[in-house]
Amino acid sequence: MDRETKLGNRFCRCEIPALFQQEQIEQKIAEYLSQLDREECVTDDIYEERLKKCSVCERLAGGLTCMDCGCFVLVRAKKKRLHCPKAGW
């Protein structure tokens, strides 16, 4: 599979090095989220509610990645225009 990691029926083709630690990934995601326009984002309360639903979902991989859509849940949960393919938020 080379650099691809199979997640269910999804493949991650990102260029994040395998040795990148989860803390570093979360830091990069936080940096990205801090640059988003507030109009694009849900409120902090809605964000926390969405993350709670993701945290108990059986399709969450490694606490960061949704196996249904392949996204980082910390990003998907923050953006107004994005929705969960499974949990229905």
pLDDT per residue as tens digits for the range 27-83:
999 999 999 999 999 999 999 999 999 999 999 998 889 998 888 999 999 999 998
Give the end-to-end CA distance of the chain in Å, rounded to a whole number: 33
Q: How many CA atoms lie within 13 A of 66 on its CB side?
A: 21
Rounded Cα distance, 3 and 56, in Å: 28
Rounded Cα distance, 54 and 73, in Å: 7
Nearest to 5 by CA among 67, 80, 59: 67
Q: Counting Cβ atoms within 10 Å, is residue 18 exposed (0-12), middle (13-18) or buried (19+)?
A: exposed
